[in-house]
Chain A
Amino acid sequence: MSPRTRFGVGHRVGRTSWVATVSAVLLSLIFILPAFWMMINSLRPTVDIFESLWPLSPRVIVPTSLGLQNYFTLFSGSFGRAFLVSMAVCLVTVVIGLALSVAAAYALAVLRFPGRNAIFAAVVISFMVPFEAIAIPLSQLFNDWGLTNTFMGLVLPGVCNGLAIFNLRQHFLSVPTSYREAATVDGASELRVLWSVFVPVSGPAISNSALLIFLGQWSAYLWPLIAVSSPNLQVAPLALAKAFTEHSADYGATFAGAMALAIVPATLMLVLQRFFGRLAIGSGEK
């Protein structure tokens, strides 16, 4: 193999590195084994988990029986309801968040107006501050505003995702200006241009931003913990933590809960994998 041989994109020059191959396999095993163990445990009876924890034997990752019983137990309890609440919160957040981000990104990328750069900078800086840092004071404000223990109280903090706006703006900048000019000559309003010209050519960027907004909301823990006390509005991560601390004996259901929480984002990411690669670049270049 000549050093310049390239197999598709991304391959570095030179021969296959066996040192690197062995390291890659070993390192990825370290990362995947605990996740594999979690998955196996979610599929076997709690007794089997208990017996396999100690001492070390192949049983730790080789189950005696597999089944979905833990998931049935889990979803028939309060976790099932919490899972639906989480889904609903995430979907509403994505819809509102996308509308807000697409509109803002269009204004920042396409429209010309005084103070545009300053506003863009403010948007970017606002998302460098981690949400958790301001979650505690925000919960006091939500209390004053009557949003504690409400569905919208769970939704709102997730709608404003600076990275989503940033990615959409970067994408809108790459849409040729002639598209908009042509539409404007035909008498289209800005709303029409955005909806009929920009949105149809922005599938990957929009799903990318939807994913970002969804993921941020799906794993939210601190905010639902401090903003909601009503059991009707309990979200899945909190239901899981509560089940673990209150009746931690049911390991099977606990692992099933962890896996159930993981399956949703993992599936979404697999589906949107191409866009995810793009996402990493967008934010890394910032």
Chain B
Amino acid sequence: MSHMQSKRMPDERLAVGLGASRAGANRTKRRPSRQRRAEALWAAAFLAPALAAILALRLAPAAEALVTSLYRGLPGGLRPQVFAGLGNYQMLFANQAYWETIGRTIVFNLVINPLQIAVALLLAVVMTRKIPARSIWRVLVFIPATIPIVGSSIAWGIALQPQGPVNAILAALGGSTQPFFTSPQQSMASIILVASWIGIGYWMIFLISGIDAIPEELFEAAKLDKAGPIRTFFHVTIPMLKRPLLFVLVADTVANFVLFVPIQVLTGGGPESSTTMQMFNAYRTTFGHSAKNMGAAEVVILCLIMLAFVAVQFRLLREDDPRGTK
């Protein structure tokens, strides 16, 4: 199904592009200015709710975070806030634990994003090969992504408890049981496991659409050249998949930078702060410690680091746009 859509998209977009520009040219020539003004008024009316929502729900909080982070106040707001410049930031950066939180967030993202995308890509390649009952296997991998994350987090918390089924399997296979969430050495890896079980099927769907959109002729040509599956993968699939890969990588990174539910539900940032990352930390600072100014500074730093990550990914994957995906 998705395949039919993908095949249709390019022509559709082309046709639309032509149609739109032609109609636009006609209109600017012929239309009286009164009609043009009416159209602009309609546009304003139609856009007003969306723009108001973006203003109130996106821009205002971003500005609020920036401004709040520059003030210092007492918990509970008993006294008026005083301007503190970059004081909150200085305090954060003088704090060893905060540096460790930043480091943990970065390491977490350096591991989980490539891992999830690599597995999702592997799955997408397998699931686009000629195999019986293909759509069933796709759905089975995708199902974890449909379970709201709080439900799957709790279920994995039970599955990974010291005397839980995962350890039962390990023991039955002759291995030793693992502490998972109860050990500072394994808690982060356990979070990665849970988040990946949830996320991989979701990203796989995007990559399957991307692979389906690659022209069949390229695979046939690779076959004529007697290229094996691995060469075909690196010389046809990967180069043709750059745009979907970039999209998935950026979207995954953005999602993982603000990952919150499994940490809040399962570890509370512990044990021994081993799963305290920036998003959870900002939440705890703001609501647990009632330090909203410091929390705002943490939100600003989180966003800046996240944007830096996304910018690097754009650089890495954008440098040459392969012909044919345009």
Interface residues of A (CB under 8 A from B): 3-4, 7, 9-17, 20-21, 23-25, 27-29, 31-32, 34-35, 37-38, 41, 52-56, 60, 99-101, 103-104, 106-108, 111-114, 116, 119, 122-123, 126, 128-130, 132-138, 140-141, 156-157, 159-160, 165, 173-174, 176-177, 189-191, 194, 218-219, 221-222, 225-226, 237-238, 240-241, 244-245, 251, 254-255, 257-259, 261-262, 265-266, 269, 273-274, 277-278, 280-281, 283-286
**Pair A284/B141 contact, Cβ less than 8 Å:** no
Contact present for A56 and B43 (CB under 8 Å): no
- B→A interface (CB under 8 Å): 1-7, 9, 12, 15-16, 19-20, 23-24, 27-28, 36, 39-40, 42-47, 49-51, 53-54, 56-62, 64-65, 68, 123, 126-132, 134, 136-138, 140-141, 143-144, 146-152, 154-159, 161, 163-165, 167-169, 171-172, 197, 200-201, 205-206, 208-210, 212-213, 216, 219-220, 223, 243-244, 247-248, 250, 254-255, 257-258, 260-261, 264-265, 279, 282-283, 286-287, 292, 295-296, 299, 302-303, 306
Tell me the complex Cα distance, A135–B49, Å.
20
A111 in contact with B50 given A240-B154, A284-B209 (CB within 8 Å): no
Known: A28-B140, A237-B148, A251-B158. A285 touches B243 (CB 8 A): yes
Q: In the complex the two chains form, what is the Cα distance from A176 to B22 in whole Å? A: 12
Kindly state the separation between the CA atoms of A140 and B216 in the bound complex, as whole angstroms.
53
19 of the cross-chain contacts (CB-CB < 8 Å) are: A7-B130, A9-B7, A12-B216, A20-B126, A20-B130, A28-B138, A34-B159, A60-B165, A123-B54, A133-B303, A160-B57, A221-B260, A221-B261, A258-B150, A258-B155, A269-B146, A277-B2, A281-B209, A284-B209
- Which residue on B lies nearest to A219, using beta carbons? B148
Q: Least Cβ distance of A159 to chain B in Å?
A: 6
Whether the Cβ atoms of A25 and B148 lie closer than 8 Å is no
Q: Is the CB of B169 within 8 A of A56?
A: yes
Contacting residues, chain A, for B60 (C-beta < 8 A): 138, 141
Q: Interface residues of B: mostly helix, strand, loop or mixed?
A: helix
Q: Contact between B130 and A14 (Cβ–Cβ < 8 Å)?
A: yes
Contact B5 A14 (CB under 8 A): no
Provide the residues of chain A in CB contact with B3, threshold 8 Å.
9-10, 277
Other-chain contact of B172, A3, A31, A41, A55 (Cβ < 8 Å): A55
Complex Cα–Cα for A23 and B205 (A): 17
Q: Are B46 and A104 in contact (CB under 8 A)?
A: yes
A277–B5 CB distance below 8 A = yes
Please, which residues of chain B bring their CB within 8 A of the CB of A160?
Answer: 50, 53-54, 57-58
Q: How far is the CB of A34 from chain B (nearest CB, A)?
A: 6
Q: What's the least CB distance linking A221 to chain B, in Å? A: 5
Contact: B168 with A54, CB < 8 Å?
yes
Task: State whether B197 touches A31 (Cβ < 8 A).
Answer: yes
* Cα of A112 to Cα of B30 in the assembled complex, Å: 14
A258 to B146: give the CA distance in the assembly, Å: 11
User: Which residue in chain A gives the minimum CB-CB distance to B131?
Assistant: A21
Q: How far is the CB of A190 from chain B (nearest CB, A)?
A: 4
Residues of B within 8 A of A277 (CB): 1-3, 5, 209
Check A134 against B149 for contact (C-beta < 8 Å). Answer: no
Q: Which residues of A contact B303 (CB under 8 A)?
A: 129, 133
Question: What chain B residues lie within 8 Å of A237 (beta carbons)?
Answer: 148, 150-151
Known: A107-B47, A112-B39, A137-B64. A17 touches B9 (CB 8 A): no
Residue of B nearest to A54 (CB): B163
A220 smallest CB distance to B (angstroms): 9
CB distance from B139 to the nearest CB of A (A): 8
Q: For B197, give its contact among A14, A34, A41 (CB under 8 Å).
A: A34
CB within 8 Å for A38 and B155 given contacts A101-B50, A134-B58? yes
- Tell me whether A111 and B292 are in contact (CB under 8 A): no
Contact assessment for B126 and A23 in the assembled complex, using a CB-CB cutoff below 8 Å: yes
- Give 9 A-B pairs besides A24-B127, A38-B155, A261-B147 with Cβ atoms closer than 8 angstroms: A12-B216, A20-B131, A24-B134, A32-B140, A53-B168, A107-B42, A177-B20, A190-B42, A261-B150
CB distance from B209 to the nearest CB of A (A): 4
Contacts of A173 in B (CB 8 A): 16, 20
